[in-house]
Structures are given as structure tokens and as C-alpha cells.
Chains A and B, each alone.
Chain A
Amino acid sequence: MSLLNVFDIAGTALSAQTVRLNTTASNMANANSASSSSESTYRARYPVFSTAMLEQWNFDAADHAPRGVRIDGIVESEAALKREYSPNHPLADTDGYITLPNVNVVEEMANMISASRSYQSNIEIMEASKQLLQQTLSLGQ
């Protein structure tokens, strides 16, 4: 029954978007975590999405099967870390500089809105499919 596949597909999307929201929250929380060296500084992290075939959909022709989404991994941003002159900071290095994460708060906000919109639209797809299935189950009554 293809309509039941919708729940699997939308479910993979929900978990992927949840991971995306989680990384955004982690980036925002650590936006101001200063440290004394660039190695120990937090770097903004982002999930990498890719298309996934679910195992239970054993269609012969792989090209025709419906597809979910999967997290391939989490990558750390390559952007330059911020250096700030703050000699009174307890973590300042010998030159009086602290290193701040390369988190762009505006970018993170935009990412968060995009993720929550995607989450919502997948929920709505599930809701619509649920109604269709319920009506199908009560067929002839």
C-alpha cells in the first residue's frame, strides 16, 4: 500500500530536520564560547543530507522507488574563526587575544526557520495521508 510509505518517507524527513534543528541550537548556544587557542574553539557544524532508499521498500527498479532522506554526517564549518583583543578575559592568550567560534547567528536563524518550515510541511503531508487512509478504511460503511 503506497500511502503507508508516505509515513516512512515523511518520518525520515522529520528526523533529518530534527538533527538540523539540533545542530542549529548547538551552534547558537556556542556562538560566544571563547577559548584561548584555535584548536579548542567550537566550530559551526552542519548536517549533510542525502537521498536514501529504505530497506523495506524492496522494489526491483531502484530508480522508481520512493525515497526518504538520510543524514550522511555532520561537517564543521571551514570559515575563519574570530579573534578578539580582550586582555582582561580569563582565557586570553599571551598576546591578550581570545578566539571566538565562526558561528554566524543570522545564518543560523535563517537555517532554523527553513528547518522548522520543512518539518511543518512534512507533518502536514502525514496528516493528509492519515485522513485519506482513514477514509479508505471506512469504505462501504
Chain B
Amino acid sequence: MFNFENAFGLHAPALMARGHRASVLASNLANADTPGYRARDVEFRRILGAAKGDLAMASAHYRHLSSEQAGAMDVKYRQPLNPSLDQNTVDVNAERAAFLDNALRYQASLRFLNGRISGILKALNGE
């Protein structure tokens, strides 16, 4: 039987992860001129893996923290390509490229979601 919970598959958590990555990349760009700021990024595979349940930990109690809660905000420091004298490791061009890439993938997820929704609507309308 058709399951509404799984109707959108992995695309909804993917959108959330892409949105989070966009804000991390925006922080990097905002701090492009801040002395001592170290550029950060999220590991997308890890976030999505947590959403999929790949990294789910067995818990013996309902109040135990799940790996999803711990992994969702997983942010790591970027390996600097050209560190500057003021210890700032933001490469503006690389960050903008990463932001653009992230935005395009966000749009791809939106496109997939739109496809799913129109498919479900067709089925509901019996066309």
C-alpha cells in the first residue's frame, strides 16, 4: 500500500541538509575578512547518512540521543589552500563555487519533489 510517510523519500531530508550547508557556507563568506576565522563545511554524506538511518545507533532507552541529532549539525574545518597572514582560511572563490554547487543541488531536490507531488496528485485525481 502507498505510504505517505515515505512518499518523498530522501528528498526532504536532503533539502534540510542543503539548507544547513548553505548557511554554513554563508558564514564563511560573511567572515571572509575576519582575522583568525577558519572556514568550515559540513560533510554532506554524513548528514544524509544520519537521515537515512545508516549511522543509527542502537538505544536502550527512548531518551538516549540518536546519531541523527548528533550528526545533523556536523561541521568540520576546511583544509586551507592559501592560509593568509591573519590566520583567515576563507577562499572566497572556492566558497562561492561551493555555494553555487549547493544551490543547484538544492534545486535538483526541489525538482524531484515536484515530480513526486505531481505524480501523487495524478494518482489522487484518477487521471
Contacts and interface: CB of A to CB of B under 8 A. Distances in A.
A6 B114 contact: no
A115 B32 CA distance: 10
Interface string B25-66: 011011111111100000000000000000000000000000
A23 B24 CA distance: 28
A68 B16 contact: no
A86 interface: no
B30 A135 contact: no
Contacts of B20: 2
Contacts of B92: 118, 121
A132 B20 CA distance: 13
Interface string A43-79: 0000001110000000101011111110000000000
Interface residues of B, number: 34
B103 to A, nearest CB: 5
The range of chain A's interface size is 35 or more
A9 B107 contact: no
B96 interface: yes
Contact of B24 (A49, A66, A128, A139): A66
Which residue, A20, A115, A124, A128, has most C-beta atoms of chain B within 10 A?
A128
B33 A1 contact: no
Contact of B29 (A2, A13, A136): A13
A12 interface: yes
A17 B100 CA distance: 22
A122 B29 contact: yes
Nearest to A68: B30
Contacts of A41: none
A135 B29 contact: no
Interface in A18-35: 20
A29 to B, nearest CB: 22
Contact of B103 (A13, A20, A59, A128): A128
B22 A121 contact: no
Nearest to B75: A64
Which residue, A17, A49, A135, has most C-beta atoms of chain B within 10 A?
A49
A132 B31 contact: no
Interface of B: 15-16, 19-20, 22-24, 26-27, 29-37, 73-75, 92, 96, 99-100, 103, 106-107, 110, 113-114, 117-118, 121
Given A6-B23, A118-B33, A132-B22, 11 more contacts: A12-B30, A49-B35, A51-B34, A64-B74, A67-B37, A69-B30, A69-B34, A121-B29, A121-B96, A136-B110, A139-B113
